[in-house]
Chain A
Amino acid sequence: AQSVSQHNHHVILSEAASLELGCNYSYGGTVNLFWYVQYPGQHLQLLLKYFSGDPLVKGIKGFEAEFIKSKFSFNLRKPSVQWSDTAEYFCAVDSGGGADGLTFGKGTHLIIQP
């Protein structure tokens, strides 16, 4: 069974700081990769996704992620965070072509201090 590892469970940053959240997965074949975000009191929503093509993908709210196949990584980045980015972030992997659900990491709780 594949697994997804998120390196940091809790991250605290000040506004305007740069952000990078790590994500590594274990599956060696073709994968689809996702970052989801859960703002306080809101639905889990898609931040960005990678299926194929350009390994640098851009998502909503200024987030981007880079797929590095050789490192089995899909790290999330944002150059300048805002207080409203406070949320829980989940990396997820699909290795079944959409057939059998996603494997999620344990999440990173991000707190942005004003």
Chain B
Amino acid sequence: DGGITQSPKYLFRKEGQNVTLSCEQNLNHDAMYWYRQDPGQGLRLIYYSQIVNDFQKGDIAEGYSVSREKKESFPLTVTSAQKNPTAFYLCASGDRGIDTQYFGPGTRLTVL
């Protein structure tokens, strides 16, 4: 069954703790993306990666970090420097040069 998986679906953390969100895809896509969705704000790009071992900052990268050690995986770490981390986080993937992105089910992070 091809697709994008994100885990966990819900995540609760205490303020000041770092937390890592998982994203895995088996679509053989080169490119992967992380977006943040807030009510009434649409989706905003956090980080993206076009190829293994390379990634770029998006519009709202401050307080986040990523790695891309494998083609299938693009984990996102929400650090304690992120001032307002409570949000719905969406991972996406796509073929480089072909623009359709496919989205995972999302992780809802709540920082208490």
Contact = CB atoms under 8 A, between A and B. Distances in A.
Nearest to B102: A46
Interface residues of A, number: 27
B99 A49 contact: yes
Contact of B41 (A1, A103, A106): A106
A90 B35 CA distance: 13
Interface string A78-105: 0000000000001010100111111111
The range of chain B's interface size is 20 to 34
B97 A97 contact: yes
A4 B43 CA distance: 11
Nearest to A109: B40
Given A43-B105, A106-B40, A107-B40, A49 B45 contact: no
B56 interface: yes
5 contacts: A98-B97, A98-B99, A99-B96, A100-B58, A102-B33
Interface of A: 1, 4, 6, 9, 32, 34, 36, 43-46, 49, 51, 90, 92, 94, 97-107
